[in-house]
Amino acid sequence: MVTTLVPLIVVFPLAGFLFLGLFGSRIKNEALIGTLGSGAVGLSFLSSGWIFLSMLAWEVPDRTFSIELFPWIASYTGNPASFVSSISYRIDELSILMTLVVTGVGFLIHLYSIGYMHGDRGFWRFFAYMNLFIVAMLNLVLADNFLLMFLGWEGVGLCSYLLIGFWHDRKFDVGGYKPGTATTSDAAKKAFIVNRIGDVGFLIAMFLIVDRFGSLNFESVFGAASVLTPGNVTVFWIALLLFIGATGKSAQIPLYVWLPDAMAGPTPVSALIHAATMVTAGVYMVARCSILYALAPDALTIVAIVGAATAFFAGTMGLVQNDIKKVLAYSTVSQLGYMFLAMGVAAFGAGIFHLMTHAFFKALLFLGSGAVIHAMHEEQDIQKMGGLRAAMPVTFWTFLIGALAISGIPPLSGFFSKDEILWKAFSSDYGSPLLWVVGVAGAALTALYMFRLVSLTFEGGPRYDAHHVHPHEAPRTMTIPLILLAVLSVIGGFVGIPESLLGGNAIEHWLDPVFQRAHARLELQPHDPDVVEYILMAVSVGLAVAGILAGRALYLRLRDLVEQWQRRFARIYNLLWNKYYVDELYDAAVVRPIVTLSERLLWKWFDVGIIDGVVNGSAAVTAKVGEWVRRIQTGVAQVYATVFLAGILLVVTWLLFR
Amino acid sequence: MTDLNSYLILSAGVFILGVIGVVTRRNAIIVFMSIELMLNSVNLTLVAFSSFLGDATGQILVFFVMTIAAAEAAVGLAIIIALFRNKQTVNIDEINLLKW
Amino acid sequence: MNIEVVLFVILAVTFVGSGIMVITRRSPVLAVLYLILNFFALAGLYLTLQAQFIAVIQIIVYAGAIMVLFLFVIMLLNLKDEEKLIEKISARKVLAVGLSAAVLLEVLYIIWSATPAIERNVVKAEELGSVEAIGKALFSDFLFPFEVTSIVLIVAIVGAVILAKKKLD
């Protein structure tokens, strides 16, 4: 039963995509399309749920297995080094968890989209793309070799491009472009291209893996790696290059610039792809390759530093944004930083735990913002909102739950996962107190900007024209997912209650077998709960509460003070508002030179000058030669006779003297 | 002194004279006559060999050459007449329609 | 210095001399006349080679028929010593003469180095050159080419007539 269900997990949304893609334009009934699209993902979720429940009953070693569908690349070189790569899926504790998250949250978002995309001309296209995305993401997390994972990796990148640019002609200001000139297609292009830059790292890492280990299959590679000793240079480079790929896909420094601009797409897209699933692919990948990172502690350090820096850095930028979705986008970048921080201090399980809880509350926050945007007739500037609490109570309360969760208030899910990360950052052999400080500062910022958002959007008095704009609550297809996600945000953390709080830390025990090799190599010392942990917990919660109160106070009652500060610290404010001018920097340092180089060197000089020159030139030469050669035909017979004579002379001479 | 060589040398000399006439003169009729000169010098060679080697084949060949030369002269002169009717000239340099 | 040699020399000089005259005269009629002289000298040379039949044929066919044809055509076209036909010395002509001289030298070299001294059997040659012998050979060994030449002559006649005909409008 299980073996047939595994491929079905992917087949359901694939069938959905094919059907909707081929026939969707002819189906006029939105409910039908929505049901088909959501139903496909729903069936996927049920299948993976069944497999998960079965796995609970099995012994630990039985929980890991691969199912091969068919060989993809089989190259037999004759000697023992042949290369085979197949479409096969690996079920283990980590991949089933990821699958549940992807299909579960994905199903809720599909449901929400039925209401959100109502009336859109490309309704069927949207669901087709979303199903395709689910297919690609599932391939990514279920792959049992790097090549199939890369296929999924690129597939989600493609779907991200298709979905960001869904309303392709809409004007949207993209970082690095002159204001008013860019459209959503430019945002989609930017996302895809920046991702591609990271993918170069992934590809080179794959080449190195094949070179070093002779295979791309996870089991083969990790099995061979586990007997190596740390300090191997090749493994370091593999780990680092894979991480570069992760910075692209998961929007870390330096390749995060695409994520805020990806908000050009419809809100369900932002929720699914740019919050809950695609951007977590990098985190998943690092977790999957934990043994490789364990063999390269320097790479681990780099991951941790980049993660912590991104967490803080993005938080500062989210503080001054006025677009509701952009605040959430920077928040996503920041939370991803936390996940990488966890990976970098060898707390792999904690990172995955945060991935799961973040999927719940970030999707919730995005979907809530979508409800708000719809209610405000596509207005996204929070400065023009306010007082929506009364008009949209369900949205407000679920949004509030999401904000509390992300701020790390116990007993919501965000508290348990974030706190685990912070504790491990401080206490792990591979962490340091400095990382903890940066992390906790970022947490404070998170609380601050989230409650700035809540206050400006829902509380206080309306700052919009109440005569023309009448916000109302969202339809049930939108509010039910919100409620469900809110419930998950509340109870989702209970699977990871740490020992210090008398919990069993179920999730980390569940994931232990996956990280066993890495843990063995890293020789981590288990810590008994001690006072320091409680102190740190208290500090982080306290800072979170302080952030919440400050956010509410500043933006509800002390707005004038805020404006005063904006003027006094105008330079800093502008720096943050312009996102540290990173987009402009990239544009000047990378984009402009490449474009100029391509235009001047590759296009005008090489393509037009040399290639066209050679082609046209050879034609011109032929014509010229022809012009010269035709003069032989003088038309006068005696000339021909003279030539005859010369020929005779030559032949006779040759015959005589050879 | 009248051995084979002298006849051959004589023939070669007149043949070359014919060649010079063909490539040098502009009047088409003179060119034709130079061609006849060439043909005749070859005839002389053939007859000389036939006489010295005691084989009649040479002279038979000369017979046929003469026949063909006569036919060729007739046709060639007819062409010249036709040409003259159209272009009013027998100057070979002016008959160059196949020029580039 | 026997009579043979003297005769040969006279005939040879006439042969070459008239040949030079043919190719250098400006007037076509003069050229024709010199060519006729050339043919007579040639006939004489044939006789020194005991080729009686060929010698007679030479005079009858060449000097008698072909040259008359030439004269007819010249008179028909009414060619005079036109200004346009005055020969100019051009590079092409110099080159041609040079090439011809080179070829001549080569041929002379071949003749000098290759031909062995052969003794002539005069009596046999006389026999071979007689009308009887030629006739026998023509109608036995060379019958087919003989018949074919008759066709060639017919073709030539028809062709010449058609080519030179005035177009009937």
Give the CATH number, domain containing residue B17. 1.10.287.3510
Domain count, chain C: 2
Q: How far is CA A465 from CA A370, A372, A373, A559, in A?
A: 20, 15, 15, 20
Contacts of B4 in chain C (CB under 8 A): 115, 117-118, 120
pLDDT in tens, A139-159: 999 999 999 999 999 999 999
Note whether A345 and A431 are same-domain residues: yes
Residue type, A371: A
* Distance separating alpha carbons of residues A643 and B95, to the nearest angstrom: 18
Contacts of B23 in chain A (CB under 8 A): 638, 641-642, 645
Note whether C49 contacts B85, CB cutoff 8 Å. no
Task: Determine the average pLDDT of the residues in A278-299.
Answer: 90
Look at residue A173 in the predicted model and tell me its pLDDT. 80
Domain count, chain B: 1
Note whether C85 and C147 are same-domain residues: no
> C101 in contact with A at a CB cutoff of 8 Å?
no
Contact between A85 and A148 (Cβ < 8 Å): yes
Q: Is residue A87 part of a domain?
A: no
Look at residue C152 in the predicted model and tell me its pLDDT. 95
Note whether A537 and A600 are same-domain residues: no
Is residue C81 scored above 70 in pLDDT?
Answer: no
Note whether A642 contacts B23, CB cutoff 8 Å. yes
Q: Is residue B100 part of a domain?
A: no
Note whether A641 contacts B23, CB cutoff 8 Å. yes
Mean predicted lDDT score pLDDT of chain B: 90
Token pair 């929506």 is at which residue?
A388
ipTM of the complex model = 0.91
pLDDT in tens, A44-54: 999 999 999 98
Interface size, chain B vs chain C, as Cβ–Cβ contacts under 8 Å: 223
**Residue of B93, B96, B100 lying closest to A630 (CB–CB):** B100
- β-pairing, A83-91 vs A65-75, is antiparallel
The two tokens of residue A584 are 């402009």
Look at residue C146 in the predicted model and tell me its pLDDT. 93
Q: Give the domain-ending residue among A542, A565, A596.
A: A542
Q: What are the DSSP calls for A56-119, one per residue?
A: HHS-GGGG-EEEEEEEEEEE--SSS--EEEEEEEEE-HHHHHHHHHHHHHHHHHHHHHHHHTTT
**Residue of C102, C109, C110 lying closest to A649 (CB–CB):** C102
Closest CA to A139 of A157, A123, A119, A165: A157
pLDDT in tens, A596-634: 888 888 888 888 888 888 999 999 999 999 999 988 888
Note whether A375 and A520 are same-domain residues: yes
Note whether C113 and C136 are same-domain residues: no
pLDDT in tens, A342-396: 999 988 989 999 999 999 999 999 999 999 988 888 888 888 888 888 888 889 9
Q: Is residue A241 part of a domain?
A: no
Q: How far is A641 from chain C (nearest CA, A)?
A: 9
Look at residue A379 in the predicted model and tell me its pLDDT. 80
Q: Give the domain-ending residue among A483, A509, A542.
A: A542
Note whether A635 contacts B92, CB cutoff 8 Å. no
Q: How far is CA A525 from CA A428, A435, A519, A522, in A?
A: 8, 19, 10, 9
Note whether C13 and C95 are same-domain residues: yes
Note whether C134 and C110 are same-domain residues: no
Q: Which domain holds residue B83?
A: 4-94
Closest CA to A248 of A111, A148, A156: A156
> What's B100's DSSP letter?
-
Q: Which domain holds residue A304?
A: 296-542
The percent helix, strand, coil of chain C (3-state, each to 5) is: 80, 0, 20
pLDDT in tens, A88-107: 999 999 999 999 999 999 99
Note whether A587 and A534 are same-domain residues: no
**Residue of B19, B24, B99 lying closest to A633 (CB–CB):** B99
Subunit partners of chain A (3 or more CB pairs within 8 A): B, C
pLDDT in tens, C91-123: 888 888 999 999 999 888 888 887 677 777 777
* Distance separating alpha carbons of residues A363 and A108, to the nearest angstrom: 9
> B3 in contact with A at a CB cutoff of 8 Å?
no
Alpha helix (H) residue ranges in A290-347: 290-294, 297-318, 324-344
Is residue B1 scored above 60 in pLDDT?
Answer: no
Is residue C74 scored above 80 in pLDDT?
Answer: yes
Mutate which: A636, A643, A645, A649, vs B, most B CBs within 10 A: A636
Note whether C104 and C94 are same-domain residues: yes
Closest CA to A312 of A252, A244, A391: A252
C-alpha radius of gyration, chain B, whole number: 17
Note whether A637 contacts B100, CB cutoff 8 Å. no
Note whether C116 and C142 are same-domain residues: no
Note whether C33 and C62 are same-domain residues: yes
Strand, coil or helix: B27: strand
Residue % of chain A over a pLDDT of 90: 40
| DSSP count for chain C of H helices, then E strands | 8, 0
Q: Is residue A589 part of a domain?
A: yes
Is residue A588 scored above 90 in pLDDT?
Answer: no
Task: Determine the average pLDDT of the residues in A498-507.
Answer: 78
Note whether A525 and A418 are same-domain residues: yes
Look at residue A98 in the predicted model and tell me its pLDDT. 93
Is residue A331 scored above 60 in pLDDT?
Answer: yes
**Residue of C95, C102, C109 lying closest to A642 (CB–CB):** C95
Q: What is the pTM of this model?
A: 0.73
> A642 in contact with C at a CB cutoff of 8 Å?
yes
Note whether A314 and A453 are same-domain residues: yes
Look at residue A565 in the predicted model and tell me its pLDDT. 82
Q: How far is C90 from chain A (nearest CA, A)?
A: 12
Look at residue C115 in the predicted model and tell me its pLDDT. 66
Q: Is residue B21 part of a domain?
A: yes
Note whether A645 contacts B99, CB cutoff 8 Å. no
Look at residue A568 in the predicted model and tell me its pLDDT. 84
Between C139 and A226, the more confident residue is C139
Note whether A529 and A587 are same-domain residues: no
Look at residue A529 in the predicted model and tell me its pLDDT. 66
Note whether A652 contacts C96, CB cutoff 8 Å. no
Note whether C37 and C65 are same-domain residues: yes
The two tokens of residue A518 are 């890495």
Assign residue C12 the CATH number of its domain: 1.20.120.1200
Contacts of B59 in chain C (CB under 8 A): 51, 53-54, 128-129, 134
pLDDT in tens, A397-455: 999 999 999 998 888 888 999 988 998 888 887 878 888 999 999 999 999 999 999 98
Q: Is residue B99 part of a domain?
A: no
Note whether A321 and A455 are same-domain residues: yes
Look at residue A274 in the predicted model and tell me its pLDDT. 78
**Residue of A632, A633, A641 lying closest to B22 (CB–CB):** A641
Q: Which domain holds residue C147?
A: 130-169
Q: Is residue A187 part of a domain?
A: no
Q: Give the domain-ending residue among A482, A515, A542.
A: A542
Look at residue A276 in the predicted model and tell me its pLDDT. 79
Q: Comparing A56-65, C49-58, C119-128, which segment has the lowest mean pLDDT?
A: C119-128
Q: How far is B25 from chain A (nearest CA, A)?
A: 9
Residue of A nearest to C96 (CA): A642
Contacts of A653 in chain C (CB under 8 A): 106
Look at residue C87 in the predicted model and tell me its pLDDT. 66
Is residue A533 scored above 60 in pLDDT?
Answer: yes
Contacts of B22 in chain A (CB under 8 A): 638, 641
Interface size, chain A vs chain C, as Cβ–Cβ contacts under 8 Å: 26
Subunit partners of chain C (3 or more CB pairs within 8 A): A, B
Binning pLDDT at 50, 70 and 90, where does residue A575 land?
confident
Note whether C99 contacts A642, CB cutoff 8 Å. yes
**Interior angle at CA A579, CA A578 and CA A583, nearest 5:** 90
**Residue of B24, B31, B97 lying closest to A635 (CB–CB):** B97
Note whether A428 and A300 are same-domain residues: yes
Task: Determine the average pLDDT of the residues in A172-180.
Answer: 79
Domain count, chain A: 2
Contacts of A645 in chain C (CB under 8 A): 96, 99-100, 103
> A652 in contact with C at a CB cutoff of 8 Å?
yes
Note whether A537 and A590 are same-domain residues: no
* Distance separating alpha carbons of residues A270 and A277, to the nearest angstrom: 10
Note whether C57 contacts B63, CB cutoff 8 Å. yes
Q: How far is A630 from chain C (nearest CA, A)?
A: 18
Mean predicted lDDT score pLDDT of chain A: 88
Mean predicted lDDT score pLDDT of chain C: 88
Q: How far is A632 from chain B (nearest CA, A)?
A: 8
Contact between A92 and A52 (Cβ < 8 Å): no
Residues 6+ apart with CB under 8 A from A169: A183, A184, A185
Binning pLDDT at 50, 70 and 90, where does residue C45 land?
very high
Q: Is residue A503 part of a domain?
A: yes
